[in-house]
Amino acid sequence: MGGFRLLIVGGVAGGASCAARARRLSEEAEIVVFERGDFVSFANCGLPYHVGGVIGREEELLVATPELFRERLRIEVRLQTEAVAIDRRRQRLRVRELASGRESEERYDALVLSPGARPIRPDWPGIDLPGIFSLRTIPDARRIRGWIQEHRARTALVVGGGYIGLEMTENLVRRGLSVTVVEREAQVLPLFDPEMVAPLAETLQAHGVKLRLSESVVGFEPDPAGGIRARLSSGAAERADLVLLCLGVQPETELARQAGLEIGERGGIRVDAHLRTSSPRIWAVGDAVEVKDVVTGRWGPVPLAGPANRQGRIAADVIFGREASFRGAQGTAVVGVFEETAACTGPSEKALRRAGLWGKEGPFEKVFLHPGHHASYYPGAEPIALKLIFRRDNGRLVGAQAVGRAGVDKRIDVIAMAIQKEGSVFDLEEAELCYAPQFGAARDPVNVAGMIAANVIRGDARIAHWEDLEAFSGLLLDVRSEEEVRRGRVPGSVHIPIDRLRERLEELPRDREIWAYCFVGQRSYLASRILQQRGRRCRNLSGGYRTYLHRGGRVAS
Considering only residues 509 through 528, tell me which ones interact with a second copy, judged by CB under 8 A. 523, 525-526
Alpha-carbon distance of 445 to 428, in angstroms, equals: 9
Stretch that binds a second copy, among 86-94, 218-226, 262-270, 437-445 (CB under 8 A): 437-445
The answer to whether 353 and 422 have CB atoms below 8 angstroms apart is: no
Alpha-carbon distance of 50 to 135, in angstroms, equals: 11
Binding of a second copy by 483 (CB under 8 A):
no
Nearest Cα residue to 183 out of 217, 151, 156: 217
- State CA 170 to chain mean position distance: 17
Q: How far is the CB of 524 from a second copy (least distance, A)?
A: 12
**Cα torsion 251, 254, 256, 261: sign:** positive
Binding of a second copy by 460 (CB under 8 A):
yes
Helix, strand, coil % over all residues of the chain, rounded to 5: 30, 25, 45
Query: Among residues 377, 470, 471, 506, which is the contact residue for a second copy, using CB under 8 A?
Result: 377
Is residue 45 part of the annotated active site? The answer reads yes
Q: How far is the CB of 494 from a second copy (least distance, A)?
A: 19
Using only the alpha carbons of the chain, give its radius of gyration. 27
* Residue 84 vs 436, nearer CB to a second copy: 436
* Residue 255 vs 414, nearer CB to a second copy: 414
* Residue 10 vs 440, nearer CB to a second copy: 440
Query: Among residues 51, 304, 318, 381, which is the contact residue for a second copy, using CB under 8 A?
Result: 304
Query: Among residues 221, 430, 468, 507, which is the contact residue for a second copy, using CB under 8 A?
Result: 430
Binding of a second copy by 439 (CB under 8 A):
yes
Query: Among residues 1, 2, 28, 90, which is the contact residue for a second copy, using CB under 8 A?
Result: 28
* Residue 180 vs 542, nearer CB to a second copy: 542
Query: Among residues 105, 202, 272, 499, which is the contact residue for a second copy, using CB under 8 A?
Result: 499
Q: How far is the CB of 231 from a second copy (least distance, A)?
A: 32
Nearest Cα residue to 181 out of 194, 195, 167: 167
Query: Among residues 123, 128, 361, 432, which is the contact residue for a second copy, using CB under 8 A?
Result: 432
Q: Where are the beta strands (DSSP E) in 103-241?
A: 103-107, 110-113, 117-119, 132-133, 155-159, 178-183, 210-213, 217-222, 228-232, 237-240
Binding of a second copy by 533 (CB under 8 A):
yes
Quickly list DSSP for 417-436: HHHHTT-BHHHHHH------
Alpha-carbon distance of 306 to 309, in angstroms, equals: 5
* Residue 263 vs 400, nearer CB to a second copy: 400
Cβ-count burial 125-164 (b if 16+ within 10 Å, e if not):
ebeeeebbbbbbbbebbeebbebbeeeebebbbbbbbbbb
Nearest Cα residue to 388 out of 302, 446, 474, 462: 446
Q: How far is the CB of 444 from a second copy (least distance, A)?
A: 7
3-state SS assignment for residue 406: coil
- State CA 94 to chain mean position distance: 36
Question: How many chain residues interact with a second copy (CB under 8 A)?
Answer: 89
Site for a second copy in 268-297 (CB under 8 A): none
Binding of a second copy by 427 (CB under 8 A):
yes
* Residue 170 vs 215, nearer CB to a second copy: 170
Query: Among residues 71, 87, 202, 254, which is the contact residue for a second copy, using CB under 8 A?
Result: 71
Q: Where are the beta strands (DSSP E) in 65-124?
A: 76-78, 81-87, 92-97, 103-107, 110-113, 117-119
Site for a second copy in 386-415 (CB under 8 A): 409-410, 412-414
The answer to whether 66 and 12 have CB atoms below 8 angstroms apart is: no
Site for a second copy in 129-148 (CB under 8 A): none
Q: How far is the CB of 61 from a second copy (least distance, A)?
A: 6
Query: Among residues 27, 361, 506, 511, which is the contact residue for a second copy, using CB under 8 A?
Result: 27
Query: Among residues 60, 87, 221, 468, which is the contact residue for a second copy, using CB under 8 A?
Result: 60
Site for a second copy in 163-222 (CB under 8 A): 163, 167
So which residues are the catalytic ones? 45
